[in-house]
Structure 1
Amino acid sequence: MKVFQKLGRMPIALTLPALTILLVVFGIPIVLLFLISLNAPAFSIVNYQSFFDQRANVKVLFQTIEISFVVTAACLIIGYPTAYLIVAAPKRLRIVLTVLVIIPYLTSALARTYAWIVILSDRGLINDLLRDLGLIARPLPLLYNRTSVYIGMVHIMLPVMMLPLVTVMMGIDKSLTAAARSMGARPLTAFWRVFFPLSLPGVRSGSLLVFVICLGFYITPAALGGLSDAMLSTFIASENSAFDLARTATSAFVLLALALLVVSVLGLDLSGTQAQAPQRTRKAGRSKLFSFRALREYLSEFVTPHRAKRWTSQLYKAGGDSIKSKISRLVFVSLVMTYLLFPSVLVVIMSFSAGTSLEFPPSGLSVQWYRSFFGDSSWYGAALISFQIAVAVAILSTTVGTLAAFGLNRAVPKARRFVTMLILAPITLPVVVVGIAAFLGLAKLGLIDSMAGVILAHSVGAIGFVVVIVSGTLANFDHRLVQAAHSMRAGPLQTFLRVTLPLIRPGVIGGGIFAFLHSFDEIVITSFVSGFSIRTLPLKLWENIRQEIDPTIAAVASLLMLLPVLWLVVLYVAWWRSKPRVLHAPAGEPATAA
């Protein structure tokens, strides 16, 4: 009990279990990896010189930046208007659309990549449809090129862009835009001058996440692209398999430096006082020069009478949307949702095909490929291993992540920001770099090719998800309840178990679900640390995708796609049960809360 009392007086100590795992598996190894890249103890940059002296490396590096930039731009162009329309929709429709975005986000990226192979291959849906219509005689080269890489990566990363945008847009006061409209501003002007600047934090967060994650993409480019579409993560994986640790470390830190550069630029607060001082110092110099802004203001004098008439006619007039505008919005959102959901639905339907190969629409319905999955020990054995690892990761990550979130919630701001940055580092850096660091750390501990090693490696990222979700729940927690429990002589442990934990239970369960899904779908880190004896379901699925198109893969992909739906139901039930329910008492008697 004295230990808990000391921890209560120093809440940051509750983050020690999480920090210990992160430092042992990721933190210390990443430092050792950096020293290896510098040829310690000689300390030279010869490895980096060798990297940039090879034109192939430089070409792949710029190719990685180009692909990541194009995917980020495409996600922003598609995701921003979609998020805006979701937020503007009625409440029930908004909830449905948000869930439809979350489901692909939680679905296995490998399964969704396989769905695009089914659609774009020579015997895929598009080519078969065009042949049946008599439009082509030979299959179009839709797969194994840069376009297919963009299609697959944008499909996977679009929810990552949209969710931060929706979150930020939900917090914008809509009355500000309405006020601008009532004062005569056109809808587009009100949007650009009022709404868009307030949504920039979501744009910055979504773009940062998408770009950094794309830098470490490995599976999707390797599955959908050709030899000329390789990204730097592919080179890192091949160098690691050749046991050239110096080259691997150098390539990993080039990629990491690029990611940190983007984080340092997009992570800065470019608004507020930081931008005001330089603006004031340059004001006098700019006023002496002829500028396009001055020209624009001069020309605007000619249209001032027209603007005044329009402003007077539209003053305090409520803006209404035309039927054409509503239909165009509906069509746009429908197309985006179809793009997100149709590949998964297609694979689920084709997995019930009764033929000897995948076909759409199926000539008959059968569960033969599911029987093949459950009848093959290599398939269900891999699924059992993945399930065992995911459960262990969920338990470990939820325990230490909840303690860390509780400690961070009560810590001083400076310590909270620093420790949070450390905990979230593994999920904000390229996953291939995390995999290399985990490989080095677990190799030092002798845990390569072991269940314990895979569990620890998965927990490095899963802890971050738990901390984010539980911290969000604790942000709305009323600490006066804890003070009331203490005033009733309840100890710290008793208060946490009887007061705090029941109220934050939905966040804890949500964090556990995300940790489970993160582990169950993990393939990049697993490929580095699992060795040859630990074959998880994603690894087995990836091997079969690369070697052969076995229709059993469709059944496996369908199961992976349906798993997030099951967990969403569990999460909803946990949230619904946590809501206070009022017991209806007979007339004349006070009602009590259950």
Structure 2
Amino acid sequence: MGAGVSTAAANSGPRWPARVNLRNPAWLFAPALLFFAFFYVLPLADLLHLSVAGEAGLSYYARVFEVPLYWESLVRTFGIAAAVAALCALFGYPTALLIHRARGTWKLVLTAAVVLPYFISVLIRTYSWMVLLGRNGPINKLLLGLGIVDAPLALIFNRASVLISIGAVLLPLMVLTVGGSLARIDPLVQRAATASGAGPLAVFWRVLFPQTLPGLLAGVLLVFISALGFFITPSLLGGPADQMFAMHITQQADFLASGGFLQSLATVLLAVTLLVVAVAARFLGLEFIWGGQRANKPSRAATQGLVASWRRAVLDRAADLFGWPLLRALGAVPARLGRGVSGALATMAFLTLLLPIAIAALISFSDSAYMRFPPPAYSLRWYEKFLSDPVWMSSLGTSVAVGLLATVISVVLGTAAAFGLVRSSLPGKTAWMTFLVSPLIVPGVVLGLSLYSLFLRAGLAGSVPGLAAAHAIGGIPLVLVIVSASLQAVDMRQEQAAAVHGASPLRVFWFVTLPAIRPGVLAASFFAFLHSFDDLVLSMFLSGARMTTLPLRLWGNVNYKLDPVPAVVATFEVALIVVGLFLARSAWAARKRS
């Protein structure tokens, strides 16, 4: 979601001259729609039908809210998601601000420190936190060495470990969202405020913060929505009192034939998620889902009626009573203190992002039979184990095959849909864009459960094509957002010139448009592959007994063995992502030079 897509820009692109006008590219939107109709809309509709079908009717829903086990976990899920969103806002905003103010190589390094963890799988990052917070982990070793404690602390299997680990997983999402908002601020506005005599804190609170508030709110909502569907992290690091709602679905997934109660649980989670999105869209617009800018059109509700007038009066009164006095008080705080607090929070954020990865990399070279830090001795024992074990290699091969096929599907359909949205006069582009990126906000357990019944009937369960199609549901939105942004940056006059000289639409695309958007397509392909390669949730529902992907193999290892092999996989994945990001940056640089 880091790449923003401006709806206004999509609607206002230059048109082709009449005599060289290409055929309406809106039809390119159709393949993605058909794919989503079969693999996304139909399964969710089937899920809803199964939740109320049969003699039980709506009784399953009544059971969800009558049994304390379920409704208490739903309330608990809201509380955990809200706490995680608050933590990410507290640490993410100063981090984004620090990156925004950095220059040159330092800015590149800080950005990479945020982006790198963002693309590492949730399971591996959770494993790293298990190492870091474990009884024999580095934090306990440090506390014991300093004499602060006499015995190791119980740092895992509690609420704090759940909040910290989920927050660390979702913190990059907050930083990237706020960073995009900071990048859109006109620097001349800040210079004008400084020239008028405003101090650094006054400039921040009265100029910078109000302009980035929509981005901060969007980040809070995205983190909150993402946290609602978490189950991997609380399953591994939480205790009995930290069970989240999605965990009930995965724990009972072995009993899929027992009526529609499981489907009712998933429907409740989906309904809650969509309700939060609907409320957020009322204030921020649907564009907050993919990072686009809301068109500057005042809504009818915001400009007419007694309700709007009453709301404005309340907000104005609240600003007079609390807002401006608070700003004046904050403006009186010494600038050095403000920078110190901001820097300390950003430093803690970077440590939270990078320290678990570094420790996992060290453990991958351990000679110990289980997780210990620091390792008693170093060797390549576990690398040899991973590379020579046919079971691990089979799982790796399966994940690569599924990932490559999912990438092809995602890139072909996502790129075509991007052309259909950006280059056509298709009405309701914001609504269509929202529909195509909506899988990013649907909890994975809901999508996996909904696809299971359909795949079982279609004979796709436990097959590489079936799992690749399921992974492409999340890959297409990533490709769509990135390629749409690349298309908006293309100078259409070059395409028009080629068409004027007799080039067919296909030749114009192949020799003019594709070279211009190639870096975006390559980046989208890389991210679509990572999305599939790291997926655990859909694989749990759809892989079957005969096909085990690498994340599924890791899941079993982390739950039952806890040897350093997952650390080896983490190291390989970090290396893959570093190489991919380096190649993506090189491609963008080459494109700029040309």
Tell me the distance in 2 between the aligned counterparts of 1:20 and 1:211. 30
Q: Does the alignment pair 1:164 with 2:177?
A: yes
Q: Does the alignment pair 1:562 with 2:590?
A: no
My pick for the range that moved more, 352-361 or 248-257, is: 352-361
Matched letter for residue 13 of structure 1: W
Q: Does the alignment pair 1:264 with 2:282?
A: no
**Following TM superposition, by how much is the alpha carbon of 1:356 offset from its aligned partner in structure 2, in angstroms?**
4.1
Q: Does the alignment pair 1:83 with 2:100?
A: no
Q: Does the alignment pair 1:281 with 2:309?
A: yes
**Following TM superposition, by how much is the alpha carbon of 1:331 offset from its aligned partner in structure 2, in angstroms?**
4.2
Tell me the distance in 2 between the aligned counterparts of 1:470 and 1:524. 26
Deviation sequence 1:54-85 (CA, Å, 0-9, x none):
11111010011111111011101111121112
Q: Does the alignment pair 1:254 with 2:282?
A: no
**Following TM superposition, by how much is the alpha carbon of 1:413 offset from its aligned partner in structure 2, in angstroms?**
5.6
* Counterpart in the other structure of 2:87: 74
**Following TM superposition, by how much is the alpha carbon of 1:231 offset from its aligned partner in structure 2, in angstroms?**
0.8
Tell me the distance in 2 between the aligned counterparts of 1:135 and 1:227. 28
* Counterpart in the other structure of 1:139: 152
* Counterpart in the other structure of 2:120: 107
Deviation sequence 1:220-257 (CA, Å, 0-9, x none):
11011012211111111123321135112111111111
Tell me the distance in 1 between the aligned counterparts of 2:34 and 2:48. 20
Task: Give 5+ residue unaligned stretches, structure 2.
Answer: 1-18, 285-295
Deviation sequence 1:112-157 (CA, Å, 0-9, x none):
1000101111222222333344444432111111110011000000
Q: Say if 1:239 and 1:247, in contact at 8 Å, map to a contact too.
A: no
**Following TM superposition, by how much is the alpha carbon of 1:518 offset from its aligned partner in structure 2, in angstroms?**
0.1
Out of 331, 334, 341, the residue aligned to residue 347 of structure 2 is: 334
My pick for the range that moved more, 136-145 or 329-338, is: 329-338
Tell me the distance in 2 between the aligned counterparts of 1:363 and 1:247. 49
Q: How does 1:31-42 map to 2 (within 5 A)?
A: 31-39=45-53
Matched letter for residue 523 of structure 1: L
Tell me the distance in 1 between the aligned counterparts of 2:366 and 2:323. 66
**Following TM superposition, by how much is the alpha carbon of 1:325 offset from its aligned partner in structure 2, in angstroms?**
6.1
Q: Say if 1:350 and 1:360, in contact at 8 Å, map to a contact too.
A: yes
* Counterpart in the other structure of 1:179: 192
Matched letter for residue 459 of structure 1: A
* Counterpart in the other structure of 2:397: 384
| Residues 12 and 554 of structure 1: CA distance in aligned 2, closer, same or farther (over 3 Å) | same
Q: Say if 2:138 and 2:374, in contact at 8 Å, map to a contact too.
A: no
Out of 463, 479, 484, the residue aligned to residue 466 of structure 1 is: 479
> Based on CA coordinates, which of the two structures has the bigger radius of gyration?
1
**Following TM superposition, by how much is the alpha carbon of 1:328 offset from its aligned partner in structure 2, in angstroms?**
5.4
Q: Does the alignment pair 1:223 with 2:251?
A: no
**Following TM superposition, by how much is the alpha carbon of 1:363 offset from its aligned partner in structure 2, in angstroms?**
4.1
Q: Does the alignment pair 1:398 with 2:411?
A: yes
| Residues 293 and 326 of structure 1: CA distance in aligned 2, closer, same or farther (over 3 Å) | closer
Tell me the distance in 1 between the aligned counterparts of 2:250 and 2:165. 20
Q: Say if 2:132 and 2:138, in contact at 8 Å, map to a contact too.
A: yes
Q: Does the alignment pair 1:11 with 2:37?
A: no
Out of 510, 514, 522, the residue aligned to residue 523 of structure 2 is: 510
Q: How does 1:482-501 map to 2 (within 5 A)?
A: 482-501=495-514
Out of 30, 51, 75, the residue aligned to residue 44 of structure 2 is: 30
Task: Give 5+ residue unaligned stretches, structure 1.
Answer: 315-319, 582-594
* Counterpart in the other structure of 1:538: 551
Q: Does the alignment pair 1:577 with 2:593?
A: no
* Counterpart in the other structure of 1:591: none
Tell me the distance in 2 between the aligned counterparts of 1:226 and 1:540. 23
| Higher RCO (C-alpha 8 Å, min separation 6) | 2
Q: Say if 1:401 and 1:463, in contact at 8 Å, map to a contact too.
A: yes
Q: Residue 9 of structure 1 aligns to a residue in which SS?
A: coil
| Residues 281 and 148 of structure 1: CA distance in aligned 2, closer, same or farther (over 3 Å) | closer
Q: Say if 2:418 and 2:480, in contact at 8 Å, map to a contact too.
A: yes
**Following TM superposition, by how much is the alpha carbon of 1:389 offset from its aligned partner in structure 2, in angstroms?**
1.0
My pick for the range that moved more, 55-64 or 442-451, is: 442-451
| Residues 25 and 245 of structure 1: CA distance in aligned 2, closer, same or farther (over 3 Å) | farther
Matched letter for residue 183 of structure 2: M
**Following TM superposition, by how much is the alpha carbon of 1:183 offset from its aligned partner in structure 2, in angstroms?**
2.5
Tell me the distance in 2 between the aligned counterparts of 1:575 and 1:269. 35
Deviation sequence 1:371-415 (CA, Å, 0-9, x none):
011121111211111111111111221111111111111123634
Q: Does the alignment pair 1:552 with 2:582?
A: no
Q: Say if 1:222 and 1:234, in contact at 8 Å, map to a contact too.
A: yes
Tell me the distance in 1 between the aligned counterparts of 2:573 and 2:325. 60
Matched letter for residue 445 of structure 1: A
| Residues 67 and 492 of structure 1: CA distance in aligned 2, closer, same or farther (over 3 Å) | same
Deviation sequence 1:145-204 (CA, Å, 0-9, x none):
111001100000000111011011111012223322333434333323322221123123
| Residues 392 and 283 of structure 1: CA distance in aligned 2, closer, same or farther (over 3 Å) | closer
Q: Residue 169 of structure 1 aligns to a residue in which SS?
A: helix
Q: Say if 1:74 and 1:154, in contact at 8 Å, map to a contact too.
A: yes
Q: Residue 142 of structure 1 aligns to a residue in which SS?
A: coil
| Residues 294 and 84 of structure 1: CA distance in aligned 2, closer, same or farther (over 3 Å) | closer
**Following TM superposition, by how much is the alpha carbon of 1:276 offset from its aligned partner in structure 2, in angstroms?**
4.7
Q: Does the alignment pair 1:456 with 2:484?
A: no
Tell me the distance in 2 between the aligned counterparts of 1:529 and 1:296. 53
**Following TM superposition, by how much is the alpha carbon of 1:366 offset from its aligned partner in structure 2, in angstroms?**
1.4
| Residues 9 and 350 of structure 1: CA distance in aligned 2, closer, same or farther (over 3 Å) | same
| Residues 237 and 286 of structure 1: CA distance in aligned 2, closer, same or farther (over 3 Å) | closer
TM-score by length of 1: 0.87
Tell me the distance in 1 between the aligned counterparts of 2:460 and 2:313. 64
Out of 197, 211, 214, the residue aligned to residue 198 of structure 1 is: 211
Aligned positions, number: 559
Q: Residue 504 of structure 1 aligns to a residue in which SS?
A: helix
Q: Say if 1:212 and 1:428, in contact at 8 Å, map to a contact too.
A: yes
Q: Residue 414 of structure 1 aligns to a residue in which SS?
A: coil
| Residues 64 and 331 of structure 1: CA distance in aligned 2, closer, same or farther (over 3 Å) | closer
Tell me the distance in 2 between the aligned counterparts of 1:472 and 1:396. 20
Q: Say if 1:7 and 1:13, in contact at 8 Å, map to a contact too.
A: no
**Following TM superposition, by how much is the alpha carbon of 1:6 offset from its aligned partner in structure 2, in angstroms?**
14
Q: Does the alignment pair 1:349 with 2:365?
A: no
Deviation sequence 1:514-534 (CA, Å, 0-9, x none):
000000100001101111111
| Residues 379 and 498 of structure 1: CA distance in aligned 2, closer, same or farther (over 3 Å) | same
Tell me the distance in 2 between the aligned counterparts of 1:134 and 1:380. 44
* Counterpart in the other structure of 1:476: 489
| Residues 352 and 496 of structure 1: CA distance in aligned 2, closer, same or farther (over 3 Å) | same
Tell me the distance in 1 between the aligned counterparts of 2:401 and 2:313. 67
Q: Residue 365 of structure 1 aligns to a residue in which SS?
A: coil
| Residues 384 and 341 of structure 1: CA distance in aligned 2, closer, same or farther (over 3 Å) | same
**Following TM superposition, by how much is the alpha carbon of 1:99 offset from its aligned partner in structure 2, in angstroms?**
1.6
Matched letter for residue 495 of structure 2: V
Q: Residue 578 of structure 1 aligns to a residue in which SS?
A: helix
Q: Say if 1:110 and 1:542, in contact at 8 Å, map to a contact too.
A: yes
Tell me the distance in 1 between the aligned counterparts of 2:30 and 2:540. 28
Matched letter for residue 502 of structure 1: P
Q: Residue 427 of structure 2 aligns to a residue in which SS?
A: helix
Q: Residue 489 of structure 2 aligns to a residue in which SS?
A: coil
Tell me the distance in 1 between the aligned counterparts of 2:272 and 2:264. 12
**Following TM superposition, by how much is the alpha carbon of 1:475 offset from its aligned partner in structure 2, in angstroms?**
1.2
